[in-house]
Amino acid sequence: MIILAGMIGVGKTTYTSKLAKALGTEAFFEPVDNNPILDKYYEDPDKYGFALQIYFLNKRFKSIKEAYEKDNNVLDRSIYEDALFTYINKLQGNISQEEYAIYLELLDNMMEEMAGMPKKSPDLLIYLDGSFEHIMANIEKRGRSYEQPTADNGLLDYYKLLHDHYQGWFEDYDHSPKLRINTDNLDIHRQEDWNTVYQVITEQMKALGLDK
């Protein structure tokens, strides 16, 4: 099991798709396109912040259980990141301290359930890093209207706060081996760039004995 991690807009879905295809295995994606709460959250984060994080946590846990039943797979976000997003929402006042405590208790219960599964943690976490400017350009390029920051919606502050905290999150992550890839100067739609990325990943897999 390989998990992609990183900031909104850094490219997790694209990397997940290409990596799963190259490895001949199944990809599991974050529920975005059919998410009934996501666009509402961007319109009114105070009202939908807690509901969104519970929705993601529930769907993520379901995906992980499905993935654990397979021999090999790639997931495009980890359950370990969910607490970071919830914390950022708490910092911004979108989630109350009481809601945050409920969320953490539920997450702890889920992690205890995971401890009883055949695989306790990912075999490798790949962290996609990128400058704030690069990520904002990606968000603008993919064109989801509800993701676009304006002078009134506060999204720029949200993205900046999230980006500032991701580095510490990655440094503290200790559930599995981890690999950082800086995406700023990479366009993996170009075969040359993808070959470079894939070589780095497969070399790490070989070092961990995951290429067998």
- Catalytic machinery residues: 76
Query: Closest by alpha carbon to 169, among 103, 84, 109?
Result: 84
What φ, ψ does residue 72 adopt, rounded to 5°? -140, 135
- Residues contacting residue 101 through CB under 8 Å, at least 6 positions apart: none
Residue 172 identity:
D
Bridge-based pairing state of the strands 73-75 and 26-28: parallel
Residue 70 identity:
K
Query: Closest by alpha carbon to 120, among 171, 74, 79, 86?
Result: 79
